[in-house]
Structure 1
Amino acid sequence: MSFIMRIARADDLQTLYEMAKLTGGGFTNLPPDRTALSAKLERTEKALARQGDGIEDELIVMVLENVETGQVRGTCQIFSTVGQSWPFYSYRLGVLTQHSRELGRTFRAQMLSLTTDLEGSVEVGGLFLHPRERAEGLGLLLARSRYLYIRSHRARFGDRVIAELRGVIDEAGGSPFWDGLAGRFFGMNFQEADEFNAVNGNQFIADLMPKTPIYTAMLTDSARAVIGLPHPNGRAAMRMLETEGFDNAGYVDIFDGGPTMVGQIDQLKTIAAARDVILSATREKGGDKMLIATGKLADYRCTWGFVQEGANGAVSLDAASAARLGLETGGSFTMAGRA
């Protein structure tokens, strides 16, 4: 494998833009808009330049690079805390139970309530892997590299983490959930609303969205059918999140109805299992395939490597992965099992 995860730079803009055009819509964190993407890269640069710890409203954009060709083939993002610049809205799916003594019947109504419960959470999102690279565990590398970055900069992040999964999008690029609910209040189709949100934020939701709970029985059949379901292309991502330790806590996206997964950072498998070690030697072959990372802030790197631990606690790496990280004997790195 010749891929590493690294921090995105200003000269990655064109590549990110080309990848954004491949997402197929509904991918709010990776809009096909150069201005919006450039702003993300500027936020990343500003976050990396900050000295000291403490939680601030920051964004880290990372990219997957083939070190042999120099091509960028994937990307992902970390938002240090959501809901600081504007409210972070979600729908919470719940049930209202009512009993009629006269009728001798109990009624249970499913409801969607607009909430800002998840404000202050870390968000991992914006994960996209080029369709031609969806093999060799690169999706796992993209996803899990974010957790090791958080671990390496733990004081800059809180305790709860969320991941919004894209909801169901129809063949025409529309959202059955949006069309059956919010679209009736906003006078715009899903594509228009999604593009506006990606570039300008979702404050317009606060201005126009009804604050009272929505009974799902009042929605169209097509809207009800997709509540809490991920896009077909996101099912594997949902399984990865569940394996990592995220739960489906009943929160759904206000735009497309996709599920929002919730986890506790220190309980995520990658973070809980990670260890900091010293490289004692390199070798050509052999060892267990593990996630390995090194560096801080702009120097952060992460890749798959083959680790071998000796009886005396010595840790060696295959020479190729050590070279990708720029790691020499005596240097420290973090490692985590495949999980």
Structure 2
Amino acid sequence: MLVIRPITMADLPALLACAEESGHGFTSLPVNEEILAGRIAHSEESFAKSVSTPGTEGYLMVAEDTKTGEVAGTTAIEAAIGLDNPFYTYHLSTVVHSSRRLNVHNVVKVLTFGNDYTGVSELCTLFLRSQWREGLNGRLLSKCRFLMMAQHSARFDKTVIAEMRGVSDDDGNSPFWDWLKEHFFSIDFTLADYLTGIGKKGFIADLMPKLPIYVNLLSPEAQAVIGHVHEKTRPALHLLEQEGFTCRGYVDIFDAGPTVECDIRNIESVRHSRLCRVEIGQPQGGIDAIVANTSFEGFRAVAGEVDVLRDAAVVTIEMAEALQVKQGDLVRLITQ
């Protein structure tokens, strides 16, 4: 069984291993021990902080195997992005060039550089190591964040986004970045992605073209990947789409992967989550569920079979121990 819990500094070696395994394009997990240690320290401060409105808090969690103690993956939420470091996007929109006199009417796409998502909450850093990619583990890593948001909504913005990894090859080459590199940056995608991951974003403001880019002027290869995801990201995108997330034309400035968004009140798992009192026992013909305790600093979430009887949830003793709850305590759950 995996249990989701807040990360601690003791998890640094495991987080570094996750960063190494995640590959190119995973900006929020740079292979840099100092940066990752700083992110853990910031998360520990954030979980301990008393909060009434979202700010610069970052909540980083790990999935721990209850049998072996190994860290199987990570998941996180940024409470409000772009407040301490700029958060850049491209917005894909349409412009019309038309002349009645010449009977010419051309519809073209443009990419506009901006910071429209400043202050929104972001789902990020979801990574599950390959040996645990089975059963409900992937859903647990993704959906536990919605249970946290439903229970502690004051800590998060009304709009929630997630950046999806864009198309790149096994060596980290992005067709979209290759075009930008040729004309504006002169550095490799992997270096640009790494610099962003460690917070050194000044080069973006210095070198990124400020005026809208006409999409039809890009290379055919760059045009073809705008708004598309990396093949390894498709399952994560599918889960978010089932939750109600959709792309409204915003894409990543490096690989053109889509950014999806949803109003927190309309996220399916937030809307349909429910509070139940714990009954410890053996579920009989139970249903699959993601279950979280109602603590914040001591947040825990697991996946497994439960019996839901009116306002009660029958969970096994193993699940109760992992959640750090006892008979009669409240838990929040969503059924699968």
Normalised to the residue count of structure 2, the TM-score between the two structures is: 0.96
Asked if structure 2 preserves the Cα contact closer than 8 Å seen for 1:183 and 1:190, the reply is no
SS of residue in 1 equivalent to 2:11:
helix
When residues 52 and 21 of structure 1 are mapped into structure 2, their CA distance, relative to the original with a 3 A threshold, is closer
Measured after TM superposition, the shift of residue 102 of structure 1 is 2.7
Asked if structure 2 preserves the Cα contact closer than 8 Å seen for 1:286 and 1:318, the reply is no
Write the distance in 2 (CA, Å) between the matches of 1:183 and 1:70.
47
Gaps (5+ residues) in structure 2? none
Write the distance in 2 (CA, Å) between the matches of 1:296 and 1:182.
46
The aligned counterpart of 1:278 is: 277
The aligned counterpart of 1:145 is: 144
Write the distance in 2 (CA, Å) between the matches of 1:266 and 1:51.
23
- How many matched pairs? 336
Write the distance in 1 (CA, Å) between the matches of 2:315 and 2:154.
29
Asked if structure 2 preserves the Cα contact closer than 8 Å seen for 1:165 and 1:260, the reply is yes
Measured after TM superposition, the shift of residue 327 of structure 1 is 1.9
Measured after TM superposition, the shift of residue 183 of structure 1 is 5.1
One-letter code aligned to 1:283: Q
When residues 225 and 71 of structure 1 are mapped into structure 2, their CA distance, relative to the original with a 3 A threshold, is same
Asked if structure 1 preserves the Cα contact closer than 8 Å seen for 2:5 and 2:63, the reply is yes
Structure 1 ranges of 4+ moved more than 3 A: none
The aligned counterpart of 1:158 is: 157
Write the distance in 2 (CA, Å) between the matches of 1:182 and 1:189.
7
Write the distance in 2 (CA, Å) between the matches of 1:234 and 1:314.
36
Measured after TM superposition, the shift of residue 137 of structure 1 is 1.8
Normalised to the residue count of structure 1, the TM-score between the two structures is: 0.95
One-letter code aligned to 1:109: V
When residues 159 and 68 of structure 1 are mapped into structure 2, their CA distance, relative to the original with a 3 A threshold, is same
The aligned counterpart of 1:219 is: 218
Which range moved further: 84-93 or 177-186? 177-186
Gaps (5+ residues) in structure 1? none
The aligned counterpart of 1:18 is: 17
Write the distance in 1 (CA, Å) between the matches of 2:202 and 2:295.
34
Q: Deviations over 1:148-207 (max 9, x none)?
A: 112222111110000000101123321111111255312211111111111124232122
When residues 310 and 172 of structure 1 are mapped into structure 2, their CA distance, relative to the original with a 3 A threshold, is closer
Q: 1:325 aligns with which of 320, 323, 329?
A: 323
Measured after TM superposition, the shift of residue 318 of structure 1 is 2.6
Measured after TM superposition, the shift of residue 48 of structure 1 is 1.5
Matches within 5 A, 1:76-225: 76-182=75-181, 184-225=183-224
Measured after TM superposition, the shift of residue 309 of structure 1 is 3.0
Write the distance in 2 (CA, Å) between the matches of 1:61 and 1:273.
24
One-letter code aligned to 1:155: A
Measured after TM superposition, the shift of residue 129 of structure 1 is 0.6
Write the distance in 1 (CA, Å) between the matches of 2:176 and 2:229.
12
